[in-house]
Amino acid sequence: MKKQVTLWQEYFKGVWENNPILIQLLGLCPTLAVTVSAINGLAMGLAATFVLVMSSLLISSIRKIIPNQIRIASFIVIIATFVTVVDLVMKAKFPDLSKALGPFIPLIVVNCVILGRQEAFASKNNPGRAFLDAVGMGTGFTIALLVLGGIREIIGSRTFFGLQVLPDQYEPWLIMILPAGAFLTLGLLLGISNMYTDRKKRMEHESIIAHYKRVGREDLAEQLGVK
Amino acid sequence: MNKVTQMLLVLTSIGILAGGLLAMVSDWASPLIAANKKAETEAAIFRVQSEGKSYEKLNNAGFEVYKVMSENSQVIGYALVYEGNGFQGKIRLICGLTEDLEKIKSMEILEQVETPGLGTKVTETPFTDQFNQLETSPTVNWVKGVEPENPNEIQAITGATISSKAIVAIINNGISQMKKLRDAGGLK
């Protein structure tokens, strides 16, 4: 029987427990390349979210008529269409932003978060759930990029969203806005998020042991304890 | 329905719909994009030729150059748009020249893909301001580590030497093209 998942969980899993960047480690190329500033991270995240949501909705609603053999080709055509739409709209309405993100907007086509969600989720679920899943994944992606971009911008050029936040005496760490800085920041973020997840798991484990002890099942508690 | 026909049908219709949608969006966006680009060039011309009031493109030059006029339609100089190779890709810049091509009024980088934080320093004012009132004869030169002594020298940025050199080279190439054009009478 299919596990029951509430709508909230459908949304929230992409934000934290199955975050595309921090847990699935998907779509790292744009993540590492564009996050030199918070605004770039935010814009990239929103653009990718738009493409993800639109493609998920569409693909989920026509999932039954797409033959299995050509599903990847269809996904790519649909994704590429939405990406081109975003690219043109940004060029027409936000030329500055489009200049800053440069070649990375067209590259959303090959962002594996998007293709991955179509393959793993949208092509198997109804449009409502696909929409929630896409919005959740998009939120997670955007938050991760925003945090990454924010940290790199503050340390690397002492500004946040273009506003100076660190005093002039602070010498910006150039390495943080170079590619190496992206790897360092992402590595540390992954470490922190893993540490948090580990601690949470351990605490749950310990509370189960404590519960068994309280109800007098020392044998079960011991079994869990030695594991 | 036969599997193969279904495959053909579905993929073709997705393609047609996608193409139609893109055509519509492109139809709407392309005039806006062209307008943006034009506004951008126009703003850049008047930034490098601050006394300019109107401009006119020289169509037979073979490269992008604008004749800039003052209020009483007196030619006060040229705005030269030229590009060349930087450290990683093309650098495109605009350069305001006096009418005799002997001095650069000011210079601005329009497009570049240099290393963030290092090569991109060439777009910032401490570097670009060095080109204000710079003499162009015999060529623009760069020095490194010392203060420039001659009126045709600029100081290259430490950590962005290649980008700095590239910009000097682009400007020199552009100006020599301009001089050739002038000698051939193309600036009239």
**Each residue of B157-172: pLDDT tens digit?**
888 889 999 999 999 9
Residue by residue, DSSP assigns B57-80 as: E-TTSSSEEEEEE-TTS-EEEEEE
Q: Which residue of A has its CA nearest to B29?
A: A92
Are A82 and A54 in contact by the 8 Å Cβ rule? The answer is yes
CA B178 to centroid of chain Cα atoms? 15
| Structure tokens given for A122 | 């949208």
Q: A180 — contact with chain B (CB < 8 Å)?
A: no
pLDDT tens for B3-54 read 888 889 999 999 999 999 999 999 999 999 899 888 888 888 888 888 888 8
* Band of pLDDT at residue B85, cut at 50, 70 and 90: very high
Q: Of A180-189, B85-94, B138-147, which range is least confident? A: B138-147
Strand residues in A161-213 grouped as ranges (E): 163-164
Task: Look up the pTM and report it.
Answer: 0.76
Picking from B26, B28, B115, the nearest residue to A178 by CB comes out as: B115
Q: Which residue of B has its CA nearest to A89?
A: B29
Interface subset of A 112-171, CB within 8 angstroms of B: 156-157
Distances from the Cα of B102 to the Cα of A51, B96, B132, angstroms: 52, 11, 12
CA A20 to centroid of chain Cα atoms? 4
Q: What is the pLDDT of residue A81?
A: 93
Mutation target for B interface from A55, A77, A81: give the one with most B CBs within 10 A.
A81
Residue A52 has pLDDT above 50, yes or no: yes
Other Cβ atoms closer than 10 A to B124: 11
Are B84 and B172 in contact by the 8 Å Cβ rule? The answer is no
